[in-house]
Every structure is written in C-alpha cells, then in structure tokens.
Structure 1
Amino acid sequence: MRIVVTGATGNIGSAVVRRLRADGTHDLVGLARRLPTGEDGVTWHSVDLSTDACHDTLVEAFTGADAVVHLAWGFQPSHDLTYLAELGIGGTRRVLQAISETGVPHLVHMSSVGAYSPKHDDRPVDESWPTEGVPTSRYSRHKSAAERLLDQHEASGAGTTVTRLRPGIVGQRAAGSALLRYGVPALVPARALGLLPVLPMDRGLVIPMVHTDDVAEAIATVLRQRAAGAFNLSAPTPVTSQVIADALGARLVHVPSQVVRGVMSAAWHARLQQVDTGWLDMGFALPTLDTTRARVELGWAPTKDGPAVFEEVVAGMKHASAGRTPVLRPRSVPGALLDAVRRGPVAVRRRP
C-alpha cells in the first residue's frame, strides 16, 4: 500500500513509520515540518499544516495514496493558542480537504481520550461516550473540534473510510527528551527528576496510558483491515497518583486538585513552567477506556500495562532519552538555554 503519514517524526509517528517499514511491502510517504536525515525507505515532504500554503504539498503527497494516517498535532507553545488551533483543528481541515480532492479511500485519524466529555463515575467508557471534550482544556477542545470535522466529512458522502483512534496518554522511552522540552523548565536537568522528595498531588488522579509501539501496531492492523469507526486504545491498568509518585521515587502528599491548579496556573502565567492547567483539568475529568472493540474487532492487545509505560517514560526523561528525528532530538540544559536565548521560551517560542 501507498501510505502517507502526517506528523511522521513525532512520538507516535516515528513508531508508526518504524512499524510499517518493518513490513517491507509499503510505499511510505512521511510529512513533517522538520525532516529527519538517514531515514531510508520513506519519501519525505516538508509541510506546515498550520497554514493554507500546505495545500499543494498535501495534494501532491496524497495523490495515488491508499491511506492517510493523520497524526500531526501541537503541544507547544502553550501561550500561542492561535497557532495550536491552526495546527490541530486547521491542520485536520486541510488534510480532509486534500483527501476530498484526491479521493484517498482511507483516513486513520489520531484522536484521543482527550476528545471525550467528562466522566460521570469511575467506570470505563466505550466509543459511544460523547466527544464534546473538557471545556477548560484547550487540547481537549481542539481534539473534540477535530472530531466534528470528521463528522462533517463523513456526512458529505465523500466515500472515505474514516477510522478514529482514541488512545490514552501515549508514551515511550525515546520521547524522554521531547517531554523534558515540553514540560520541564530549561534550567532543570534531567537527573533532577530522581531527586524529588515529595509529590504534592490529589490522590484521585487516574489516567489511561498506552505504549507508543502498541498504538503503532493498532494502526498497522487498521490499515490492513481498513477498519472503520472509533477504537479506544489503552493499557489494562491506569496510572494513578501513587504510581506517579513511585516512578519518581517520591512520597505522595495529598493536596486537593484545586490547590495544585492554583499554583500551576500562577507558574504558567509567570512563564516559570510551560504546561497549562488544562492538562490537569483533563486528567481529573476524563474517563478511563473500555477497549473491548479494539480487542475483538482488531485482535489488538497491549504489550505493557499503564504503570509499566509510565515507568518507561520517567526513565526516558531521567536519562534524556531521544530518537533519531528532530522532534525526538536529545535535550540538555545548555542546549535548552541556548534555544531559549535564540528563539524564546518553549511556551512562547518563535517557530523557524
């Protein structure tokens, strides 16, 4: 198959390219803003989905494709909401427009647990749960808005088979450096994560997680079967506050989420850290996931449970683990400080 992957150099995209390349039977096309070097077996196109100028490149890449796997999304700069909306929502709209023009028969869209509406209780939800998002989380609102664009595309009668994957938080060791850049101030070295004596956090936090390689395997299966509809993807055991504390080697100290939110908000507004409070709100609002449909219809089963995935992610952050793509490049304090001087802090960074 000729398969085009947007966001092909990111956390999920790099794993998807690796998994599909292993089959040895696909013609792979990778789209990314910053292209890797030494990635054989993939035809690369540089494209910025946040602007309409990407249209001609998308049409060129999509022409003759059997499927498009749309993974591209943005997490930073967290203070530039316009850019994040243009990349996430606008980028999805631009991908759908190019798919309509070129007649691509299959779209695999990377949605998220973040698209779901807040939970009513602690029971896992299946794919019928409403996807209206968490109002105070921009990431959640944007994922929900992208789902509405998919609804419109399907209702238009375009004839595209649309698959929506809704994973929990997706992690792997190689994303360690990227997560440090996105979530830890430039002055903080990676090894400091192992020096945290206490973790002040509400003990009620429960987060579904899944390993990046397990998501890539689900995508490979969906492409092979041309499976339609929505599929939840999550490891069987969620991550709790205690799991987070244990992985960090810290003692959990219960602090109500609203108190944590206040401190987090003040630090974000003061540009002391780059993670906005919407992520905290989403963590406490979103449900855990019932993955029965993926297991039955795709034959999918995760290879790692949630705590194991989180422990791997933390180990990757402590060692500043990296991949071979620009998104997953190594992170160090001197390098992060140099980037901050040249391009500004991550949360407000000017994009090259």
Structure 2
Amino acid sequence: MEVAVTGATGNLGTSVVTALTRDDGVHVTGIARRRPSWSPPGTSFVAADIRSPGLSTHLRGADALVHLAWAFQPTHDPVTTWDVNVRGGIATFEAAAAAGVRTLVYVSSVGAYSSGAGQRVSEDWPTHSLPTAAYGREKSYLERFLDGFELRHPEMRVVRLRPCFVFQRAAASSQGRIFAGPWVPRSLLRPGRLRVLAVPAGLRFQAVHADDVGAAVRLAVHGPANGAYNVATDDVIDAAALGEIFQARVVSVPGSVAKTAVGAGWRLHLVPADDQLVALLLSLPTLDSGRVRRELGWQPVHSGRAALTEMLTALADGAGGPTPPLHPGRFRTGRPLPAELSRRGAGRAGPSPASSWGRY
C-alpha cells in the first residue's frame, strides 16, 4: 500500500509516518518543504511545496493521502498563513483527486468547532470556529471546502480527524517557538519550578499524545472510516489540573486580562501567539470521542495530563526531534544542543514560515 503524507516532518507527521510504517507492505512518501536526514524504514521523502502545480506528480500511485501540512506563522501576516493553509490545502485535495487517490485523511482540529465552552460535543457540532482567530478561520474554511469536494468526488473516501491539542516530547521546542517565543524562560515550565500559576478563568481543554493521533490516522487509512471523528482523551485539563501538573498554586485571572496581556506582547513582537488565539482557546468545547472508539477501535495509550507533562518537561530540557521543524536550535540561554541532536544539524531558533510547516 502506498501512502503519501504532507507535513511529514512535523509534530504529527513524525508520529503518523512511524505508525503507518509499522505495517508490512506499507510504503510512505513523506512530503515536506525540506527533506530530513531522518530515514525511518519503509519511507522516502520528497521536498515539495503543497501549493506547487506539480504536487500531483508526487501523489500518482498513492492509495491514500494524509494531509497534515500547516503553517502557524507568521501570525502578523495572516495573508501568508491563509495562502499556505487554505490555498495549499485546497491545492492538495485537488491534486489528490487528479492523481486518482482513493482515500483522503485530513487532520483538522478542535479549533474548527464553533464556540461551546463547558460543553462536550460530538462530530455534528457546527464547525464555524471563531472567525477573528486566523487558525480557526482557516480550519473552518477547509471544512466548508471539503463539504463541496466530497460531493464532487464521490469516488474518494474522505475522513476528517479532529484532534484536541497534540503534544509529545520530540515537538516540545517547536511548540515553544510557535506559541511562546524566545523570551519565555523554558526552565520555568518544568513542573515544580513555579510557585504561582495564573490561569484564565474558565480554561478547559483536552490533550492527546501525538503517537495516539498517529494510531488514529493509521486506523482511518486502513479501516472503513468515513466522515468526521473526534480524537481526544477523556480527561479534561482545567485550572485544578494545571496546578497539579505545575505543582503550583493557581490564581484565576479574568479571560479579558489574559487576552489583553497576550495581545500586548504580540503587538510588541514579544510572543508569537495573539489575543484572538487565546479567545479561541477559551471558547472551545471539549470533545466526545465515542465514535472513533466504537467504529475504529481507537484507544489512547497516554492520558491528556501525561502528554502535556511530557511536553513541558521536554521543553525545559531543550528537547527536540530529528527533522528540521522539530530541531531545538539554540535557546536564548546560549546552552548548546544535546550531542545527539547537534550531530544531525540544527535549524534556527527563531520561528519562520518554513520551520512552522507541520502539525501542532
């Protein structure tokens, strides 16, 4: 079986490639902006832009396409992220149809869902997101495009996976660059370092390990899946859970204060995440993942708390992964790379559109 994976070197991409190639007879073609030195068995990589008219040549002969490619930055230039994420996503779907690919697995996000704070929702909840948040707006638009795409291509099996927040050790430094930026002291994120933790009032979210999402993608590629599936652990992380994870006393702050503070840092180019992303986070529902468990037999190995704790500890350690988007680079502390990563070569510490091409 031939499977093409876009965004194959990012947070989710590395776990998806690993999950797919565990099966005998599966070959994966990984598509990314930069070809990695990482070479898992049963995988070959091509360097390609998903917006390129020649993308379909890399999809010919593929039985399935898994679309993961996504640019989180530059957040100050939403036209660029729209071009990559929306126009690039549409170009990828159309290229798959032109190449005769029979199965499309698109990994969407909880961020596509409309506001529903405090509610646990199934896959029929509206996917209109929060239009002022670029991430949600782009996720929602692709959902609308796929509605029409499925009608025009009934020969293709289209699966939409909507995971909650995805963490793993190898992606810690990448996620730190994408969401926190270079000015946040990484050491303070290690559980036990903070005495007091400020948490926006009403914050509730779910987390899932990247390996568990990779397992869900594998089941969707091979199984009878069709339509949308939420992918989430049962445990919900709220202020009390964050206090336990960080081993800190929690102080609740109004959501408006959190948004104002993050917005000010973003406008001063001190943090890459903006206030609208905080607004989206505070508005999101939690996910009922009953359908993926019943129909595909998916069960997470890791709890949400375990996935988040793994990422925070790795971020404090300066850990990273073996691909260009996941390399830790050098932090502001000037601490050298771990030997096993410096031998592979490191990318720049600062964020760039290319370094952010991958799944969160």
TM-score, normalisation: structure 1: 0.91
Question: Of the candidates 270, 273, 276, which is equivalent to residue 271 of structure 2?
Answer: 273
In structure 1, C-alpha distance between the alignment counterparts of 2:254 and 2:266, rounded to whole Å: 19
Residue aligned with 1:206, SS? coil
In structure 1, C-alpha distance between the alignment counterparts of 2:208 and 2:79, rounded to whole Å: 29
* TM-aligned CA distance change 1:160 to 1:281, over 3 Å: same
Tell me which amino acid in the other structure corresponds to 2:48: V
* TM-aligned CA distance change 1:221 to 1:7, over 3 Å: same
In structure 1, C-alpha distance between the alignment counterparts of 2:172 and 2:353, rounded to whole Å: 22
Whether the 8 Å CA contact 1:189–1:333 is kept in 2: the answer is: no
- Report the equivalent of 1:180: 176
Correspondence 1:124-163 to 2 at 5 A:
124-163=120-159
Return 5+ residue gaps in structure 2 as ranges.
336-346, 356-360
User: After alignment, is 150-159 or 128-137 more displaced?
Assistant: 150-159
* TM-aligned CA distance change 1:100 to 1:158, over 3 Å: farther
* TM-aligned CA distance change 1:261 to 1:218, over 3 Å: same
User: After alignment, is 39-48 or 171-180 more displaced?
Assistant: 39-48
Whether the 8 Å CA contact 1:125–1:287 is kept in 2: the answer is: yes
- Once the two structures are superposed, what CA deviation does each residue of 1:251-274 show, in whole Å capped at 9, x if it has no partner? 211110001111111110011111
- Report the equivalent of 1:45: 46
Superposed CA RMSD in Å reads 2.2
* TM-aligned CA distance change 1:336 to 1:45, over 3 Å: farther
- Report the equivalent of 2:338: none
Whether the 8 Å CA contact 1:115–1:132 is kept in 2: the answer is: yes
Tell me which amino acid in the other structure corresponds to 2:319: S
- Once the two structures are superposed, what CA deviation does each residue of 1:76-116 show, in whole Å capped at 9, x if it has no partner? 22112111111111111111111121111000001111111
Tell me which amino acid in the other structure corresponds to 1:45: V
Whether the 8 Å CA contact 1:239–1:310 is kept in 2: the answer is: no
In structure 2, C-alpha distance between the alignment counterparts of 1:251 and 1:236, rounded to whole Å: 24
* TM-aligned CA distance change 1:259 to 1:300, over 3 Å: same
1:214 aligns to 2:215 (yes or no): no
- Report the equivalent of 2:163: 167
* TM-aligned CA distance change 1:351 to 1:103, over 3 Å: closer
Whether the 8 Å CA contact 1:165–1:232 is kept in 2: the answer is: yes
Correspondence 1:287-326 to 2 at 5 A:
287-326=285-324
Question: Of the candidates 72, 86, 89, which is equivalent to residue 89 of structure 1?
Answer: 86
Return 5+ residue gaps in structure 1 as ranges.
none
- Report the equivalent of 2:328: 330
User: After alignment, is 18-27 or 291-300 more displaced?
Assistant: 18-27
User: After alignment, is 278-287 or 241-250 more displaced?
Assistant: 241-250
In structure 1, C-alpha distance between the alignment counterparts of 2:109 and 2:183, rounded to whole Å: 31
Residue aligned with 1:284, SS? helix
- Once the two structures are superposed, what CA deviation does each residue of 1:158-194 show, in whole Å capped at 9, x if it has no partner? 5211000001001111111111211233244422323
In structure 2, C-alpha distance between the alignment counterparts of 1:220 and 1:152, rounded to whole Å: 25
Question: What is the deviation of 1:157?
Answer: 3.4
* TM-aligned CA distance change 1:102 to 1:185, over 3 Å: closer
TM-score, normalisation: structure 2: 0.89
Whether the 8 Å CA contact 2:177–2:350 is kept in 1: the answer is: no
- Once the two structures are superposed, what CA deviation does each residue of 1:6-54 show, in whole Å capped at 9, x if it has no partner? 00000000001111122232121000011111414312111122x4xx1
In structure 2, C-alpha distance between the alignment counterparts of 1:101 and 1:308, rounded to whole Å: 42
Tell me which amino acid in the other structure corresponds to 2:46: H
Question: What is the deviation of 1:293?
Answer: 0.6
Residue aligned with 2:325, SS? coil
Question: What is the deviation of 1:244?
Answer: 2.5
- Report the equivalent of 1:112: 109
In structure 1, C-alpha distance between the alignment counterparts of 2:122 and 2:21, rounded to whole Å: 31
Tell me which amino acid in the other structure corresponds to 1:174: A
Number of equivalences: 342
- Once the two structures are superposed, what CA deviation does each residue of 1:53-87 show, in whole Å capped at 9, x if it has no partner? x121x211111110000000111221121111111
- Report the equivalent of 2:262: 264
In structure 1, C-alpha distance between the alignment counterparts of 2:353 and 2:212, rounded to whole Å: 33
Q: Percent identity?
A: 37
- Report the equivalent of 2:98: 101
